[in-house]
Amino acid sequence: MHSSRFLASLIALGVAVASSAGAAPSASPSGIARTPRALAVTSRLPAPPEGVAELKFAEMFKTPIGPKGLEPTERLRLLDGRRVRMVGYVVQQQPPIPGAFLLSPLPVFAGDEDESLADDIPPSAVLVRLPHARQARVPALPGLVQVSGTLHVGESEAGSRVATAHLELDAASERALVASMPRKHKASR
């Protein structure tokens, strides 16, 4: 009986931690009130539009990890140069990367000043670039987001980090994101 109560407590704690981890900070100077409706994931998504492949973070690297370390999957290589849709969390990064953000399978906060080499950003995080708003600073967005664009496989610099792949955001996704941003984040294009 005690073990089932203990397990129930752990599960409740895990749910509370998981649900609060994706929330936007209440007093974040760079935060916005909500994720743009066009990017927010609030229910099960329909199939991607024709010509857009779904890419999941779990499909990026071969498992189990072998003696060569992380190796891209054949699926990731085949999607290089193609339009994909990904679902993940915008990494809450201070300072934000001008004209880009990191998309992660987990809610993560990263501060460059003291932890850039030892943070919790998963290796499968993808750099998402805003091709027409290169100076915009994307604020932290709460919850899951969906983004679509052209995937490019290969190392890309993401501030002081290196991402395995980057996604050039589609025009519609970029417009929705930039339109929802506070004026102070919209630098000249």
Residue 120: per-residue pLDDT: 77
Q: In which band, very low, low, confident or very high, does the pLDDT at 5 lie, cut at 50, 70 and 90?
A: very low
* The most confident of 9-18, 118-127, 143-152, 160-169, by mean pLDDT: 143-152
Residue 1: per-residue pLDDT: 41
The structural domain count of the chain equals 1
Residue 183: per-residue pLDDT: 64
Residue 110: per-residue pLDDT: 77
Range of the domain at 180: 2-185
Asked if pLDDT for residue 182 goes beyond 80, the answer is no
Average pLDDT value for residue range 95-121: 77
Residue 185: per-residue pLDDT: 53
Asked if pLDDT for residue 71 goes beyond 50, the answer is yes
Q: In which band, very low, low, confident or very high, does the pLDDT at 119 lie, cut at 50, 70 and 90?
A: low
Least confident range from 40-44, 55-59, 110-114: namely: 110-114
| 70 or 181: which leads in pLDDT | 70
**What CATH code is carried by the domain that includes residue 42?**
2.40.50
Three-state secondary structure readout of the chain: CHHHHHHHHHHHHHHHHHHHHCCCCCCCCCCCCCCCCCCECCCCCCCCCCCCEECCHHHCECCCCECCECCECHHHHHCCCCEEEEEEEECEEECCCECEEEEECCCCEEEHHHHCCCCCCCCCCEEEECCCCCCCECCCCCCEEEEEEEEEEEEEEECCEEEEEEEEECHHHHHHHHHHCCHHHCCCC
Residue 180: per-residue pLDDT: 79
Asked if pLDDT for residue 125 goes beyond 70, the answer is yes
Q: In which band, very low, low, confident or very high, does the pLDDT at 114 lie, cut at 50, 70 and 90?
A: low
Asked if pLDDT for residue 121 goes beyond 90, the answer is no
